[in-house]
Chain A
Amino acid sequence: MNVPANLKYTKSHEWVRAEADGTITVGITDHAQDLLGDLVFIDLPDIGQELAAGQESAVVESVKAAADVYAPLAGVVTEVNTAAADTPEIVNQDAYAAWLFKLKPANLKDLDALLDAEGYLASAGD
């Protein structure tokens, strides 16, 4: 399973990267895209939208199934990756390059509560 050590994770298969400007970048893991298969549709949140931790924030759909993407932390959406919405297959090609949205977290410290790579591997292996 491809789980980069420099990222944080949620049990619900989102990955999170802390950026230097205090925002976080969110995507779905390689394991998640593999479970879903060929992605054909991605619905992203609106810029400026305020999200609670765990709130449904985006939808990714493959040919066979639809899945919600949850906000890993509470915060405000600062940027969305329109390339992923236009060409969802880039998430299949490289799930860690094809991010979905960026958040300005209400409390950056909440990041510490997310899983590290090892924790995600253990969780996803269940």
Chain B
Amino acid sequence: MGQRDWSASIRHGNLSGTKDRGVNSQRVRPFFVSEKSFNTFAQVIDMPQKTVLNEVHRQLGAKMVDFGGWDMPLHYGSQIEEHHAVRRDCGMFDVSHMCALDVAGPDARPFLRRLIANNVDKLKQPGKALYSAMLNESGGVIDDLIVYFINEAHYRVVVNAGTTEKDLAWIAARLAEWKFKAVCIPRRDLAMIAVQGPNARTRFWQALPETRAASEALKAFHSVTVGDYFIASTGYTGEDGYEITLPASKAATFWQALLDAGVRPSGLAARDTLRLEAGMNLYGQDMDESISPLDAGLAWTVDLLSERDFVGKVALLAHPPQHQFLGLLLLDRGVMRAHQKVLVQVDGTVGEGEITSGTFSPTLQQSIALARLPLGVALGDQVKVEIREKALSARVVKPCFVRNGKALI
């Protein structure tokens, strides 16, 4: 047996290709080493970082994998069963590898207004959340993130794990350059757990009853703080649920309470098939610094209408979309994978596209993919995907395959 795409098993998001390492607040630091030099040392020897729940995952029998420089659970036995648990009942993910940043100060809003491609002025009520890309001057995607509006002087920004150090450096440089009265503080003292699925809310309230009154009324893409818990109705699965940010010191107790409430631990492998079925992009795979958000299906998150100036705007206006970002459903037997070539016919000429994420969909029981395709390809078109020297048939569909447990295809 020889691995065809072995890297995919550890790459999941292509994040491990980057060498940036976040700071690990969990690893025990010898008393004689300053925090700064200890973290530098960890980066130098390229040691995967651990979340505060690392030992818990191991005790649950998780298969661990290096993801973006973090030692994370891939699955706890069967990624397909975990996937179904989230679609049909409730699952939980340790997402503490992602970094929460606090952007605070009197100029926090004007700073974010200029920093990110979506318009922070869409955040009118405290608690509201906004998904956005952060672009470089040439319009490439540095990262995708969620901004939570806590109050005028305090915003919480959650960024990807493998890009954290790069993001922090970029943000610090923009703060210095633009001279806004704001700071950006990475909250390494926090852990994050996502509870997702049709029964996520009730199970979460079972585990943490005191939060029920405040979180019950949360509409999608909102957040509320209850004591130590920052509760957001966001997620990466296409299901209802919460993402809870809490002090790292309380994470193990909270995880156990969720386990006791019947929530199934789920790993990064299920998280990847769930987000792909939901048609959600993965940074490093579906977009990166070389890709315009307009070519990666993120046009809906880019505000080009307001007069607001933001990094990358000039480049986006100068370069209209070159591709469209659509879904593929494989009609033949097989599994589509990232980087496979897609052959299309537009007005009698042959064009070429590329799969950016592909997998087997446990819900649909067939292979699905996200792909960058030439302009002119229409929904419903039949295209060919090159899989192992064969050209297999696929249908072009909207890049959202499953939502709230239901197939949309």
Contact = CB atoms under 8 A, between A and B. Distances in A.
Interface of A: 12-14, 28, 32, 35, 37-38, 40-41, 43, 56, 59-61, 63-70
Interface string B360-376: 10100001000000000
Contact of B2 (A43, A64, A70): A70
A14 B367 CA distance: 26
Interface residues of B, number: 27
A68 B1 contact: yes
Contacts of A59: 4, 388
A28 B1 contact: yes
B63 to A, nearest CB: 8
Contact of B5 (A14, A28, A35, A66): A66
Contacts of A68: 1-2, 4
Question: Which of B2, B269, B337, B359 counts the most chain A CB atoms within 10 A?
Answer: B2
Contact of A69 (B1, B8, B74, B337): B1
Contact of B335 (A12, A28, A41, A70): A41
A14 B334 CA distance: 21
Given A28-B1, A37-B75, A59-B388, A65 B6 contact: yes
Nearest to A32: B1
Interface of B: 1-6, 8-9, 12, 63, 74-75, 78-80, 269, 272-273, 333-335, 337, 359-360, 362, 367, 388
A67 B367 CA distance: 16
A43 B2 CA distance: 14
B75 A66 contact: no
22 contacts: A32-B1, A35-B9, A37-B74, A37-B75, A38-B80, A40-B335, A41-B333, A41-B334, A43-B334, A56-B2, A59-B4, A59-B388, A61-B335, A64-B9, A64-B12, A64-B269, A65-B3, A65-B5, A66-B5, A68-B1, A68-B4, A69-B1
A26 B9 CA distance: 25
Nearest to B11: A64
Given A41-B335, A61-B360, A66 B79 contact: no
Nearest to A38: B80
Contacts of B388: 59, 66
Nearest to B65: A64
Nearest to B80: A38
Contacts of B63: 37
A63 B334 contact: no
A70 B8 contact: no
Contacts of A43: 333-334
B169 to A, nearest CB: 31
A63 B2 contact: no
Given A38-B78, A65-B6, A65-B8, A60 B1 contact: yes
Contacts of B5: 65-66
A49 to B, nearest CB: 16
A13 B2 CA distance: 8
Contacts of A60: 1
A68 B333 CA distance: 16
Cβ-closest 9 pairs across A and B: A66-B4, A40-B360, A13-B1, A68-B2, A38-B80, A61-B335, A67-B1, A64-B9, A65-B9
Nearest to B3: A67
A29 B4 CA distance: 17
Given A38-B80, A40-B360, A66 B335 contact: yes
A60 B333 CA distance: 12
Contacts of A12: 1-2
Given A37-B75, A37-B269, A38-B79, A63 B1 contact: no
